[in-house]
Amino acid sequence: MAGRQRPRRLDRNIAYFDEPPERRPPITEVGPVAWVRANLFGSALDTALTLLGALFLIGIISLLLTWSIGTANWYSITFNLRLFLVGRVEAFMDPRISILFLFIAVLAGVNFAAWSRIHLRLWAILAAVLLALFIIPWLIAGAIPPPLTWLAAGQREVTSGSITARPVERVAFIAGADEEIVFRLVTPADDAQLARLNSFSDGMANTLRNAAANRLASEQRLETVRQELAGDRLTERQRAAREAELENTAVPPPVHTSYEVGAHPLSLTLRSGDTDAEIVNGTIAPGEELRLTLPQEGWYVLEKRVPDNDDSIALLSASGLYPVFDRSFIREGERVFQYMRATDRLLVEGGRPRDAGGADLPMLGIIDHQYRGERPLADFLSLMLGPFLDQLNLGLALFTAVMAAAYFASRWLERRDSDQEVPLRRLRRSAVWLWLVTIPLAFLLIIGVSSGPFLTLSDPQLWGGLLLTLVLTVVALVVAFPIGILLALGRRSTLPVVSAASTLYIEVFRGVPLITLLFMSMLLVQFVLPSLSGPDNAPYRVMVALILFSAAYLAEDVRGGLQSLPTGQVEAARALGLPGWRITLHITLPQALRAVIPALVGQFISLFKDTSLVTIVGLIDLTGVANLIASQTEFQGLRRETYIFIAIIYFIFSSVMSNVSRRIEASGSGAARA
């Protein structure tokens, strides 16, 4: 258009002008700069609020990060990931759940292809993120050595406060084949160094550490008191109290000297945990290091012995020696004991080493060998982040790969017959069919069909975690949906009995809190449906409550959609001679449902979150698992970590759902606009 310059001409009525050249707007008026200027620093108040908000966010985030990295015990998550995901379902369910997981990936891929586009850029980002999930653990494992474990040896008791500890001579641990363990003797220069033995440590090393820290703390306190007394900012009373404190507080002698903590010669013996056969027998002297390579995977026993008349305590650092989680459960009628190494989930099954008398030898159990003290970032990465990502990456990568395959396959099929009259119509129809297939298939896989070997029935009582949460949500919604539609139509019916009954139902169930319904359903459903009695049917009874509850809310959503339709739609249909039920089926319902997709998804999301209430009637859903973990001995009272974790899971699912709903709306899904 720039080439067409018209001659300037002034007629009586018309003036022509040269076309002004096209220009880009000034850089300050477009793009991120303009956005920031307009939205964050628009006025003095905006600027102040922006800065305040930013400060607040930075504060919260840095607090959370410090806590997550330095203190939080994320083992409660990594160790219990299975519990979080599927609860305690039988082992034979694993392949079935994996199939379902991948089927959902196919479903997602096909539906994305049918209803929206995933840009190549987004695929690239996804691929990069997944790649990072593999590379980051690998990098961490390569670059950051796992922390050392502190062990003490000797014959002397150490007291710190009310705790008295004596070094154990033999300790059992698990390790893999060909692993190397390196021992070094260490002499702490002073108590400050002793107090900073931050890492895994045995009971004795930990007691030393605490004793040193306590001594330093009281020394510090006395120093403060002396300074205060030297100054003139104290009242008489305070001065007297401080003087008394100074008088009565005795700072014990330095820990490292009084117990002679340090590098003392030591004999170390490594035995096989199963056969008690000696594998290595060596001594280690100050300044030396002892390297042992382990022959096979399994239990080992380490004996550390000081000379008989030695009264000192030897301090030892070990790499490759890590605490163990233990658990036991019933598998096929027999009790199974499992031991899992904290750092890398190395798993050993069977009994643990015993002494000659038949008693269990002390082992490096996680309860007594927790990570002590603040964790530096490196230890967080190597102990927590790396292993956690390593647990997730394979599943996520598989899911994404299958989803991508389904996405591109259906787009390719779609493009192959692109001469279709209506683009995407066939693909969309297949996508809907796929949903209709997936839901029954999912229940088939989860519930099973018979007690035979093929699709063995699973015990509903064992369903738990995310699995239970999703099962409850989906069942409740799928069953409640048709009921809700009927109720909505019923409420608008011209027959007074039908509309009164529907209205009564809707108002009653919307007027009772879900939690009350849950309690009632646990007690009342069995009167109506005797087959649902008994504790193993609890999930089904809960489903009944959730269905009845959601049906009432869905009915109101659908009714809203019906009401929003212009009357002309029904009139046009009537004028064409369509009978009433066909008008509902072909004209009003499809439009009403499209109009309320956002409300329906909102209902889905709030139901998804509301299922957490089933914890209160004893089901172990996602929230239930979080509570359960806080009562395990290893993770006693660790609630913060687990709640943060499930909050993230709830959030991810909810935001995926609302994102999907936004995409459905944007796609118009058959043009619900006039």
Partner 1 sequence: MASADSNPMSQGTTISQTDEEPIIICRDMNKWFGEFHVLRDINVSVAPQEVVVIIGPSGSGKSTLIRCINRLEEHQEGQILVDGMELGHDVRNIAAIRREIGMVFQQFNLFPHLTAMQNITLAPIRVRHRPRAEVEDDAMQLLERVGIPEQAHKYPGQLSGGQQQRVAIARALAMEPKIMLFDEPTSALDPEMIKEVLDVMKELALSGMTMLVVTHEMGFAREVADRVLFMDEGRIVEQGEPEHFFERAQHPRTKLFLSQIL
Strands 313-319 vs 324-331: parallel, antiparallel or unpaired: unpaired
Closer residue to partner 1 (CB): 44 or 674: 674
Q: Give every CB contact of residue 172 below 8 A, 6+ residues apart in sequence.
A: 273, 299, 300, 301, 302, 352, 353, 361, 362, 363, 364
Which position among 1, 2, 10, 575 is part of the footprint of partner 1 (CB under 8 A)? Answer: 575
Q: Decide whether 528 or 674 has the Cβ nearer to partner 1.
A: 674
Say whether 518 sits in a helix, a strand or coil: helix
Closest CB 481 distance from partner 1, rounded Å: 18
DSSP state of 312: S
Among 280-288, 305-313, 542-550, 581-589, the segment contacting partner 1 (CB under 8 A): 581-589
Q: What share of the chain is helix, strand, coil (3-state, %, to 5)?
A: 60, 15, 30
Site stretch for partner 1 (CB under 8 A), options 158-166, 529-537, 585-593, 620-628 = 585-593
Report the distance separating Cα 105 and Cα 651, nearest Å.
Answer: 19
Query: Which window, 328-336, 545-553, 583-591, 616-624, contacts partner 1 (CB under 8 A)?
Result: 583-591
Q: Give the Cα separation of 215 and 189 in Å (integer).
A: 15
Tokens coding 5: 């310059």
Among 513, 582, 618, 656, binds partner 1 (CB under 8 A): 582
User: Does 671 help bind partner 1 (rule: CB under 8 A)?
Assistant: yes
Q: Which of 416, 436, 474, 434 lies closest to 110 in space, CA to CA?
A: 434
C-beta separation of 283 from 314 below 8 A: no
Q: Quick one: 294 or 589, whose CB is closer to partner 1? A: 589
Q: Are 504 and 512 in contact (CB under 8 A)?
A: no
Q: How far is the CB of 628 from partner 1 (least distance, A)?
A: 47
Nearer to partner 1, 330 or 575 (CB): 575
Residues in 91-110 at the binding interface with partner 1, rule: CB under 8 A: none
Closer CB to partner 1, 247 or 421, in the complex: 421
Min separation Cβ 591 and partner 1, Å: 5
What residue has token string 């000192």? 312
Given the rule CB under 8 A, which of 202-210, 349-357, 514-522, 574-582 is the region that contacts partner 1? 574-582
> Please, which residue, 59 or 579, has the CB nearer to partner 1?
579
Please say which residue, 436 or 671, places its beta carbon nearer to partner 1. Answer: 671
The least distance separating partner 1 from the CB of residue 574, rounded to whole angstroms, comes to: 6
**Structure-token match 């109720």, residue found:** 487
**Tokens for 345?**
């989930």
Smallest distance from partner 1 to CB 493, Å: 17
Contacts (CB under 8 A) with partner 1, residues 592-631: 594
Size of the site for partner 1 (CB under 8 A): 26
DSSP string covering 373-387: SPPPHHHHIIIIIHH
Cα 596 to chain centroid distance, Å, stands at 31
C-beta separation of 669 from 612 below 8 A: no
Of the candidate spans 188-196, 321-329, 590-598, 617-625, the one that interacts with partner 1 by CB under 8 A turns out to be 590-598
Contacts of 504 (CB under 8 A, 6+ apart): none
Please list the residues that pair with 338 across neighbouring strands: 327, 349
CB neighbour list of residue 355: distance below 8 Å, 6 or more residues apart: 170, 361
172 vs 166: CA distance, rounded Å: 17
Q: Which of 226, 239, 510, 574 binds partner 1 (CB under 8 A)?
A: 574
Q: Which residues of 33-61 are buried (b: 16+ CB within 10 A; e: fewer)?
A: eeeeeeeeeeeeeeeeeeeeeeeeeeeee
DSSP calls for 112-166 = HHHH----HHHHHHHHHHHHHHHHHHHHHHHHSPPPPEEEEEES--EEETTEEE-
Q: Which is nearer to partner 1, 454 or 581 (CB)?
A: 581
Angle at CA 470, nearest 5°, toward 91 and 459?
Answer: 35
Quick check: helix, strand or coil at residue 467? helix
53 binding partner 1? (CB under 8 A): no
Report, in Å, the least distance between residue 419 CB and partner 1. 12
Q: How far is the CB of 424 from partner 1 (least distance, A)?
A: 11
Q: In the bound complex, what is the minimum distance in angstroms from residue 558's beta carbon to partner 1?
A: 15
The single residue among 578, 599, 617, 630 that binds partner 1, judged by CB under 8 A, is 578
Is 410 an interacting residue with respect to partner 1 (CB under 8 A)?
no
Site string for partner 1, 503-532 (x = CB under 8 A): ------------------------------
To partner 1, the closest distance from the beta carbon of 116 in angstroms equals 17
In the region spanning residues 411 to 450, those forming contacts with partner 1, defined by CB under 8 A, are: 421-422
Residue numbers 554-573 binding partner 1 by CB under 8 A: 566, 568-569, 571-573
Q: Establish if 590 lies at the interface with partner 1 (CB under 8 A).
A: yes
Query: 29 or 571: whose CB is closer to partner 1?
Result: 571
- Indicate whether 331 belongs to the interface with partner 1 (CB under 8 A): no
Stretch that binds partner 1, among 42-50, 347-355, 382-390, 575-583 (CB under 8 A): 575-583
| Distance of alpha carbon 302 from alpha carbon 278, whole angstroms | 10
Q: Which residues bind partner 1 (CB under 8 A)?
A: 421-422, 566, 568-569, 571-579, 582, 586-587, 590-591, 594, 668, 670-674
